[in-house]
Amino acid sequence: MMSCYLTDERWTLIASRLPGKAGDPGCHGRDNRLFVEAVFWIARTGSPWRALPPHFGKWYTNYTRYRRWTQRGIWPGVLHALAAHGTCEYFFEGDAIRHAAKHPLTPEEASAAVSAARSSKKAA
């Protein structure tokens, strides 16, 4: 079972701020919640996009969508909404989302996260 950062309460705080929902012009996101979980997984683990576990979908599709949302300025508003309710472990710096962990991942932990992602991809 996948651990999720976006509890129902957190999701409620940000869902209406995201592009790609019904009623928005243009294409609709297939699963905004899963996509945001993927972005937070990347930020939390420090893994490269190519190591994104397959249950999140294609890494390049997620990366492209992340870059588009970054260019449109979506992320600061999302993180601000989470932080305003005291539930945010992430912050936006430059053009990237960072995890504000009390104990940042050591190089060994980051390497283990990448290895785990690769092994789950091989198993799929």
pLDDT tens digit sequence for 24-67: 555 555 689 999 999 999 988 889 999 999 999 999 999 999 99
- Provide the number of structural domains found in the chain: 1
- Say how far apart CA 60 and CA 83 lie, in whole Å: 28
Confidence (pLDDT) at 25? 52
Percentage of the chain modeled with pLDDT above 90: 33
Reduced to 3 states, what is the DSSP secondary structure of residue 96? strand
Confidence class for position 115, pLDDT limits 50, 70, 90: low
Provide the whole-model pTM: 0.72
The answer to whether position 99 is within a domain reads yes
Give the rounded distance of the alpha carbon of 72 from its chain centre: 16
The answer to whether position 112 is within a domain reads yes
Which CA distances in Å does 77 have to 2, 23, 70? 26, 20, 11
The answer to whether position 3 is within a domain reads no
Confidence (pLDDT) at 102? 46
The answer to whether position 2 is within a domain reads no
Q: Does the pLDDT value for residue 108 go beyond 50? A: yes
The answer to whether position 88 is within a domain reads yes
Mean pLDDT of the chain: 78
Confidence (pLDDT) at 23? 60
Q: Which amino acid is at 121?
A: K
Least confident of 12-21, 24-33, 68-77: 24-33
Q: Could you tell me which residue, 87 or 112, shows the higher pLDDT?
A: 87
- Say how far apart CA 99 and CA 55 lie, in whole Å: 21
Confidence (pLDDT) at 1? 37
| Segments forming the whole domain that contains residue 99 | 8-16+27-123
Q: Write down the H helix ranges in the chain.
A: 8-14, 32-45, 59-71, 74-84, 107-123
